[in-house]
A and B are shown apart, each in its own frame.
Chain A
Amino acid sequence: MTLLDSRTAPPAAPESPKPASRGAVVLRDLGLGVRFAAAGGREGWIRTLLTAVGVGLGVALLLLASSVPHLLDERNAREQARSETRISDSPDANAPKSDSSVLRINTTTEYHDRTVAGYLMRPDGSTPVLPPGVTGFPGADEMVVSPALRQLLAEPGNELLRERLPYEITGTIGDAGLRSPGELLYYAGNDTLTPAKGGHRIDGYGDSREGDPLPPLLIVLTVLVCVVLLVPVAIFIATAVRFGGDRRDRRLAALRLVGADIRTTRRIAAGEALFGALLGLLIGLAFFLTGREFVGSVEIWDVSAFPADLVPDPRLALLIVVAVPLTAVLVTLVAMRSVVIEPLGVVRRGRERGRRLWWRLLMPLAGLAVFGFTGRISAYEYAPEKPFGIAAGTVLVLVGLALLLPWLVEACVNRLRGGPVPWQLATRRLQLSSGAASRAVSGVTVAVAGAIALQMMFAAMNADFNRMTGQDPTRAQFAGYSEDVTGEAATSAIERFRATKGVDVVIGSVEAYASRPGDYADEDVQPTTSLTVGTCATLRELARIDACEDGDTFVVHPPGDKDMTAWVDETARKGKVVEISSGGKPMRWTLPADSPTVQGRKDPMGETHYGIMATTGAVDAGKLPGATISVQIRVDRSVPDVAEYVRNTAATVDPGMRFVTLDSVERDRQYASIQTGLQVGATAVLLLIAASMLVSQLEQLRERRRLLSVLVAFGTRRSTLGWSVLWQTAVPVVLGLAVAVAGGLGLGAALAWLIEKQVADWWLFWPMVGAGGALIALVTLLSLPPLWRLMRPEGLRTE
C-alpha cells in the first residue's frame, strides 16, 4: 500500500464494541467499586481502612466467639485427662498396691483470692503413674509447678505462699496438664502420706465419663449471653461498612454526571463495600491471630486460655466468611435507598417527613410474640427447643430496640433549641444528621439492654443456683478439719492456731468416738456417739451451756430430734463407762454421774453437735486415740494478710487439712462461670463499641477538617469545640441508654416471666448506665487529641 492509497482510502471508523453481557456488566461495576476503594488516593484509602479496621475488629471478636466451643472442649478434655482413677472410693489401706500406684491427697489452697490447686503424692513402687504434663515424679519435699505458680512464687511479696509450699521446685507442668496458662497448680512428693492421713490410692489418670449436662435454665442463660454479646458486634459491623458513606455518595454523583445509571452506582457502591469487608476479614483474621498469641499471657477475672485452644469452629468460621461481606453489601444497598444520587449532587430522602415509628415497633413486638409462642420453661422441664425460641425472641427485641433509636434521637433532637454555643453546635449537628450518631450508639443500646435483661435473669435465678450454706461468717471466717491425728498433736495444733498472727478466737475441739462397752453380735450395731473435748469457751459455741468450769462434762442432745436423742443416751449413760477407740486398744473412761444434759447448737459451720462434751480438765485430749481436730477461727480482718497467716498455720499442722473459708452463700460453679463469661464478653463488647464510636467520631471530624479550621480562624476556643464533641457524643448515648434501660427492663421482665421467676431487683441497671457514662467520657477524651490536631490552621490551605 502506498501513502497515496492511504490518503484516498481512509480507514473505516472503528466498530462500536458489542454490549457486554449482564454478568460481565455486574462484574465490571463491582470491579470498579473495588478499584475506587483500593485506589481512591489517600482519602479513599483512609475510608477503606476505617471500614476494614471496623469490620476487622468485629470479625476478630466473632472468630473469638466461634473459638469458645473448641476452647471449652480442650479445657474439659485436659481436665478429664488429669482426673484420677481411684482404686478405692474411700481412703483404704487395703486397696491393692502396685508398682505404678500412688497415694495422693488434695492439698488445694487459696492465696489472695486465687485458687492454688495442689496434691501431695507418694509412690507405691518404682514406676508411679504421672499426671499429664509431668515428666518426672517429684521426690519427697520436691514439687513440680505450673509456669504461673512458678512465676507467682518468684515474685517479691509472696513470701507467705513460699512459706506454705516449702518444697524445692524440680520441674514444670506442661500445657497438657493445665486447664489454662494462668492456672496455679503443683504436685509435691511426700514420703509420709498414708491412707490413715487421708491419702487415697490411684493407679492412673483419665476420666471418660460425660460431664453433667447444663440444666435448661442455664442453657437459656448461655444462649442469651451469646445473643447479647454478638448482636452488638453484628450491629457494629453493619455500622463500620457505612463509614465514609457521604464522601462515597458524592463520588457516585460525579459518576452519574458522566453517564452511570442508578443501578450502576449501586453496584459500584456494593463493590466498594465488598472490598472493605473482604479487607476487614483479612484484618480481622490478623487481629485474631495476633491477639491469640497474647491471650496466654493475659488473665481477666481468672480466665485465661492457651493460644492453641483458640481455634474457630470451621462451620462458624465459614458462616463469618460468607455473612460479613454479604452483610456489608446488603447494608450498603439498604442505606442507599434513602438517598437519591443525581448527577449534580446527592439528595437525602425523607428529611421532610422524618422517620416513621410504626414499622420500627414491629420487630420488638414480633420478639414478644415469639416469647408468647415459645411458652414458659421451668427449671426441671426438658425442652431442648425452647431456649432457642427464647433466643430468637431476644434477638428480635434487641434489634428492634436498635431500630427504635434513630427515630427517638431524631424526635428528641428536633425539639432541642437554644443553649450555649457548644450545645447549639452539637444539637444542630445531630438535627442535620442524627443517623450516623444513632448507628454508632445502637451498639451501646443493644449491649446495655441485653446486659440489663441478663442481670435481671441472673438475679431471678439466684435462688436456684446460690445455695444458703447455713454458715455464719460473723462467728468464724475459717474452718479446718483434720483426721486421724493423735490427741496430743490435735491439742498442740489448736494452740498453734491460737498463736497465729491476727487470730481472735479459735473454736478448737478434739473429737473421737465413744462407744458403749459390751459384746455385740455381728448384726447388732454398737451404740456409738461422739466425744468432743474443748475449753468451756469452745463448748459454749457448740452447745447451750450456761455454767461451765474446767473439769465439767455434758451430755448434749440434738434439738428437736427424738430418735437421735435416744441414740445418744444409749451410749452417754451418766456414771457409766464408755470406750474410746479407733481400731486399736480402747481407752475406757467413765462419764461423770453429775454431767448435766444440755441442747446442742449450730457451730459457725452450721452443723449441730451432740453426744458427749468434755472440758480439757475432764478428759486428757492428748491421750485420745484416733482423734480428729476441728477448728473454726475468727480473725481480726484489719490485720493484713490474716487469711494467709491462718492458711499457713493449717498447712504446717497438716498439709492435707481440709480448710475452708466460711461463706453464707455457695454459688453453683456452672452458673458462676456463665456470669464470669458475661463479664469477660461484656468488657470486650464495650471496648469494641468504644472503638466504633471513636472511629465514627474521627470520621466526622475528618470530614469537617476545613470547617474546624475556619472556626479556629474566628478565634473559637478549643474548649468550645471540645464541649461540642462531648455533647454530640453524650446526647445520643443518653437517649440510647434510656431506650436500653426501658427495653432491658421490659425484656428482663418478659424473660423472668418465661422462666417462671419473679423479678428480684428493678434497680440493676445502674452499673450498666455507669458503664455507658464511662464510655462517653472515654470516647470524648480520645477524640480530643485528633480534634486539637484538626483545629490547626493548615486546614485552611488550599494550594
Chain B
Amino acid sequence: MIPEGSLLAAHDLRKTYGSTPALDGASFSVHPGEVVAVMGPSGSGKSTLLHCLAGIITPDSGTITYAGRELSAMSDAERSALRRSDFGFVFQFGQLVPELTCVENVALPLRLNGVKRKAAERTAREWMERLEVDDLGSQRPGEVSGGQGQRVAVARALAASPKVIFADEPTGALDSLNGERVMELLTEAARSANVAVVLVTHEARVAAYSDRDVTVRDGRARDLEHAV
C-alpha cells in the first residue's frame, strides 16, 4: 500500500467540508529529497490534500504515514511537534509575521523548537544569505517586495532543517521572473539538503521544477508514475 522508500504517503483520503467533498479517495507519496508538484484546477482539493499531508487537518478517512508513523493516530500536540521539527511551509502570500523583522521571521521556527535567539538568528542569516535576501534582516515584511518576502518565507521554511517542505502556490502572487527565481532557490536548496517538497500549484511552468507531477481532480489524486 505504501510505496517503498517513501517518506510521506497517503492512501484513500476523504475529506468533506459540510456537504462539499474536498478529497474523495486521494492517494499520494513523496520520497526523501523528491520534489512533487500537486496540480489541478481551483477547488480541486490540492490545498486540502497538502493540509492533510502536513497534519494541519485530519482527513475524515484514509491513512497518512510519515517515516513509518501513522499521522492520523497522533494527537494534536504530537502533530504540532512534528510540524515544528520535520516540516516547513511556504504559502502564497508568504504569510510572514508582520511585526517581526525578516530575520526574526526566519528564526521563528527554530525558536519555536527551543533554539536560543542568537543561535536561531545566526542560522536564519545563513539561510537568508543562501536565498539572497541577507540584506533584509532588519526590515519588516511590509517594507520588502513580494518576491523578497517570498524568498524570506522560503528561508523560513528551510531554517529548521525540515524533512518535508509544503509549498502552497508559492509563486501565486509573484511575477514570472520573481516566481522563477523563488522556485530555483527553493528547489536547489531543498535538493541540496535532501528535503522533500510537496508543491501545490496550478501553473505548469512552476510544476516544471518538480521531479514528478500529481494531478488532483474532483478530490482524487492521480499519480502517473507511482500509482498507489
Contact = CB atoms under 8 A, between A and B. Distances in A.
The finding on whether chains A and B are genuine partners in a shared complex, rather than unrelated, reads yes
Interface of A: 418, 421, 424-425, 428-429, 431-433, 706-707, 710-717, 720, 793-794, 796-799
Contact of B92 (A428, A431, A798): A798
B191 interface: no
B56 A712 contact: yes
B218 to A, nearest CB: 14
A799 B47 contact: yes
A602 B140 CA distance: 78
A435 to B, nearest CB: 14
Contact of B104 (A424, A706, A714, A797): A424
Given A418-B117, A715-B81, A715-B82, A425 B99 contact: yes
A796 B47 contact: yes
Interface in B66-87: 79-85, 87
27 contacts: A425-B97, A425-B100, A431-B99, A432-B98, A433-B99, A707-B95, A707-B97, A710-B95, A713-B83, A713-B89, A714-B84, A714-B89, A714-B109, A715-B79, A715-B81, A715-B87, A716-B112, A793-B51, A793-B57, A796-B47, A796-B56, A796-B168, A797-B48, A798-B47, A799-B42, A799-B43, A799-B47
Contacts of B109: 714-715
Contact of B84 (A425, A428, A706, A715): A715
B82 to A, nearest CB: 7
Closest 10 CB pairs of A and B: A715-B83, A715-B84, A428-B99, A710-B95, A432-B99, A793-B56, A715-B80, A429-B99, A793-B57, A421-B111
B86 to A, nearest CB: 9
Nearest to B95: A710
Nearest to B166: A713
Contacts of A428: 97, 99-101, 104
B39 to A, nearest CB: 15
Contacts of A796: 47, 51, 56, 91, 168
A82 B87 CA distance: 79
A429 B104 CA distance: 13
A714 B112 contact: yes
Nearest to A431: B99
Nearest to A799: B43
Contact of B98 (A707, A717, A799): A707
Contacts of B26: none
B43 A710 contact: no
A425 B54 CA distance: 24
B100 A424 contact: yes
Nearest to B54: A713
A712 B84 CA distance: 9
Given A793-B51, A799-B47, A710 B92 contact: no
B108 interface: yes
Contact of B112 (A421, A429, A431): A421
Contacts, number: 74
A793 B47 CA distance: 11
Contacts of A712: 56, 80
Nearest to B79: A715
A411 to B, nearest CB: 18
Contacts of A799: 42-43, 47
Given A421-B108, A428-B104, A715-B112, A706 B95 contact: yes
Contacts of B91: 710, 796
B57 to A, nearest CB: 5
Contacts of A717: 80, 112
Contacts of A716: 80, 84, 112
Nearest to B46: A799
A722 to B, nearest CB: 14
Contacts of A793: 51, 56-57
A714 B162 CA distance: 11
B19 to A, nearest CB: 16
B191 to A, nearest CB: 23
B47 A797 contact: yes
B89 A710 contact: yes
A715 B108 CA distance: 11
A254 to B, nearest CB: 18
A796 B200 CA distance: 14
Which of A425, A706, A797, A799 has the most B CB atoms < 10 Å from its CB? A799
Contacts of B81: 715
Nearest to A426: B99
A713 B95 CA distance: 11
Contacts of A432: 98-99, 140
A706 B92 CA distance: 12
Nearest to A427: B99
A183 B94 CA distance: 64
A428 B168 CA distance: 27
Nearest to B82: A715
A382 to B, nearest CB: 58
Contacts of B89: 710, 713-714
Interface string B110-121: 011000010000
A451 to B, nearest CB: 33
A713 B48 CA distance: 13
Contacts of B85: 715
Interface in B108-155: 108-109, 111-112, 117, 140
A418 B87 CA distance: 25
A717 B112 CA distance: 8
Contacts of B98: 432, 707
Contacts of B48: 797
Nearest to A716: B112
B155 to A, nearest CB: 14
A711 B156 CA distance: 12
Nearest to B97: A707
